[in-house]
Structure 1
Amino acid sequence: MTESDRLEEYILRHTSPESPIRERLWREAHVRLLRARMLSGHLQGNLLQMLCRLTRARRALEIGTYTGYAAHCLAEVLGEGGEVHTIESDDEMEDFIHEFLDGAPYADRVHLYLGDALEILPKLLEEHTFDLVYIDANKREYLDYYELIVPHLPSGALILADNTLWDGKVIEEPTPTDPQTKSILAFNEHVQRDPRVENLILPLRDGLSLIYKK
């Protein structure tokens, strides 16, 4: 075990535990899914919950449901009357998502949409006001999501964008055949120059950007 692994193990031992549903979901995802490392996980999930509490968010938007792990994190702490609206492009994940969501004590707070986020978002943003947004979907569309969302957010809303360090590739020259890295670089630069927001990149896992709407 490397020093980094030992340190992460220590951090997790001294972080509030996952709920039983999240723990079971994480375990089953790693047994049954090929890309299980994509789910948020214990540490990042707890950070989502902490930020949700600190901002007193009541309505959250998630782009990129995947297993539903992050949606569980948010729904657990939103409380009665809170809502999570989550969009997933891969309809093959629907059964897995519902397997762990259905029957959860907060299932009625989670609204799942299957399809293209760029097609679903306009109507969703017209109908709802969101306090917190979590983006963890197609990296090539991050900037498109961002520009759709920001004009609809109230002052004080928080956007969280995952994978913004992109395995360290952001400090390398992207190759012509690497559109994901190019898109993450463009997104990071755009956010940095946007006068509507304040931003901070945390070196957590693969990079998590905290973007505050002024």
Structure 2
Amino acid sequence: MSKISEGLSPELHEYLVAHGTPPDQLLRDLADETALRLPERFAMQIAPEQGTFLTLLTRLLGVRSAVEVGTFTGYSSICIARGLAPGGRLLCCDVSEEFTSVARRYWSMAGLDDRVELRLAPAVETLRSLPAEPTVDLSFIDADKTGYVDYWEELVPRTRQGGVILVDNVFSGGRVLQEEPEDEVVRAIQEFNEHALADPRVELVMLPIADGLTLARKL
């Protein structure tokens, strides 16, 4: 038995995906359309196993109030919205009409129009406009990496005790190990990871899912 997380070879990753609940046809169609329309941006979409994880975690927590920062074409928002408790709502924050027009169409096809609200504006502005009370059950941060600390600082106070904040791409393609990275995105992720780790308001674990996923629980 290993005491460290296993590095995934392509073959082991294929096995992992094959032994989890697969995405349904709608999610597969969305992934295919995103790859066709936005081939240079397709890497922004979360991995299928990550989507399944989001749905299961949302269901396990009985989430009624969720926030997503960075929606792209809608894959992760569908996964979260499908896991919401009855009457639950998901607020999506994004700035791209082009990308989210695809998301809107797939929300409608998935029958999720009544669960999802989209606000097209800088996410920090949207988050600051929310009530200050800690009512959010779950958040997923997956937008511009240089804004991660700001998003975190707006969401942690608004998260209820026991609520969860998920943060994507915390490995930055493995580049977080660089001592003096030239890339500002890598530096931003390094800064965020240290910032979150030092935050006494949460307990957290960094999971080796896709490009690294931090799961933090509000104390």
The residue aligned with 2:110 is 104
Give the conservation status (yes or no) of the 8 Å contact 1:63–1:137. yes
The residue aligned with 2:26 is 21
Moved more, 78-87 or 136-145: 78-87
Choose from 43, 46, 70 the match for 1:40: 46
SS at match of 1:131: strand
Distance in 1, matches of 2:139 and 2:85, equals 17
Task: Note the 1:43-192 alignment, pairs <5 A.
Answer: 43-126=49-132, 129-175=135-181, 177-192=182-197
1:112-137 deviation digits (Å, cap 9, x = unpaired): 11110011111124488210000000
Distance in 1, matches of 2:133 and 2:118, equals 15
1:125-162 deviation digits (Å, cap 9, x = unpaired): 44882100000001001001111111121110100000
1:175-201 deviation digits (Å, cap 9, x = unpaired): 3x4211111111111111111110111
SS at match of 1:111: strand
What TM-score results when the alignment is normalised by the length of structure 2?
Answer: 0.91
Residue 193 in structure 1 maps to residue 198 in structure 2: yes
Give the conservation status (yes or no) of the 8 Å contact 2:132–2:157. no
SS at match of 1:65: coil
Distance in 1, matches of 2:192 and 2:177, equals 14
Distance in 2, matches of 1:30 and 1:188, equals 30
More helix by share: 1
Distance in 2, matches of 1:184 and 1:94, equals 25
What TM-score results when the alignment is normalised by the length of structure 1?
Answer: 0.93
Give the conservation status (yes or no) of the 8 Å contact 1:174–1:181. no
Give the conservation status (yes or no) of the 8 Å contact 1:125–1:149. no
The residue aligned with 2:3 is none
Give the deviation of 1:94 after TM superposition. 2.9
The residue aligned with 1:30 is 35
CA RMSD of aligned residues (A): 1.6
Q: How many residues align?
A: 211
Give the deviation of 1:209 after TM superposition. 0.3
Gapped regions of structure 1 (runs ≥ 5): none
